[in-house]
Amino acid sequence: MVAVLLLAPGRPENEEGFTWPLQELLALDKLAHALLFFALTRSLAGSLESLSTPPSSRLSSPLLAAILSLSYGLGLELLQLIVPNREVQLGDAIANFVGVSLYVAWRRLV
Tens of pLDDT, residues 66-110: 999 999 999 999 999 998 888 899 999 999 999 999 999 999 888
Question: Does residue 77 lie within any of the structural domains?
Answer: yes
Question: Does residue 96 lie within any of the structural domains?
Answer: yes
67-77 burial, b at 16+ Cβ within 10 Å, e below that, comes to: ebbbebbeebb
Question: Does residue 71 lie within any of the structural domains?
Answer: yes
Question: Does residue 11 lie within any of the structural domains?
Answer: no
Question: Does residue 15 lie within any of the structural domains?
Answer: no
Q: Give this prediction's pTM.
A: 0.77
- Count of domains in the chain? 1
Distance separating the N- and C-terminal Cα atoms of the chain: 27
Conformation bin of residue 54: beta by default, left when phi > 0, alpha when psi is -120 to 50: beta
Range of the domain at 84: 24-51+58-109
